[in-house]
Amino acid sequence: MASGPSGTGGWADLVALLNVQFEDANRGNFARKFKEKHGADGEGKDTGTTRYKFGQFVDRHGGFLSGAALGQFLIDSGQRHWQDASLGLMEHTIKHSLTQANPKKIVFTVLPDTTGSPTARAEVRDQNGNELKTPAQVDAQASYKITVFCPPNNPRPKP
């Protein structure tokens, strides 16, 4: 990851902002904006909307990052940097939550990866800590805890 689990402009900062968006007071408004951008089901089927993909909301909702840091974040959100299955399930969970009539709460956490993997992975769990592994299991729950495990920092070297 460009900025890893800690540090300005990194995933930790982004996750902190996401957690604010998913708080009870803000979640409804966040969901409304989400559906304006990605359609009622997040698939971009409605006129003027685009299909939701994790990472791209940073670009489309603005304000989180800017300049080179934004570009680096987008690179790090790319599929090459993720274990595919976990990325897909996290994406599904966010989309599922924000397209419900009553958007479901998600709490994000970022931790450093300790397995030596060059790619990031996300674990989706229910409120009781049980890991959810399929979209059907996700859909059946009322709220979620998502932990993103990041490889070590690999920031763009200073000129």
Partner 1 sequence: MTIPSAKRSVLALPSVLTRRHFMSGTATIAGGAAAGTLLALSNPSDAATPAANPPTDYDPRTLPINYLTAVKDQDHPNPCNACTAYAVVAAVEAAYNKSKNQQGSQGPDLDEMDLFSNPGPQGGCAATHWWPKAALNYCQTPGLKWQSSASNSRIKIAPPVSLLDDSNLSKTQRAMKEWISAHGPVVGVMVQYEDFYSFGKAWSATHGTQPNPNVYSLDRKNPGRIVGGHSIAIVGYTGDDHWICKNSWGSGWNGDGYVRIAQGKNAFAETYIDRIDVWGVTVV
Binding-site ranges for partner 1 (CB under 8 A): 44, 50-51, 53, 55-56, 59-60, 62, 67-68, 70-72, 74-75, 77-81, 118-119, 154, 156-157, 159
Of 52, 62, 142, 58, the residue nearest 102 (C-alpha)? 142
Least separation, in Å, of the C-beta of 74 and partner 1?
3
Nearer to partner 1, 32 or 156 (CB): 156
Least separation, in Å, of the C-beta of 113 and partner 1?
12
Concatenated DSSP letters of 49-113: -----TTHHHHHH-SS--HHHHHHHHHHTSGGGB-HHHHHHHHHHHHHHHTSSSPPEEEEEEEE-
Least separation, in Å, of the C-beta of 70 and partner 1?
7
CB 144 within 8 A of CB 124: yes
Between CA 37 and CA 34 the distance in angstroms is: 5
Least separation, in Å, of the C-beta of 88 and partner 1?
10
**3-class state of residue 120 by DSSP:** strand
Nearer to partner 1, 86 or 141 (CB): 86
Nearer to partner 1, 29 or 79 (CB): 79
- Directed axis angle between helix 11-21 and helix 24-38, to 10°? 100
Least separation, in Å, of the C-beta of 66 and partner 1?
9
Nearer to partner 1, 79 or 127 (CB): 79
Nearer to partner 1, 28 or 78 (CB): 78
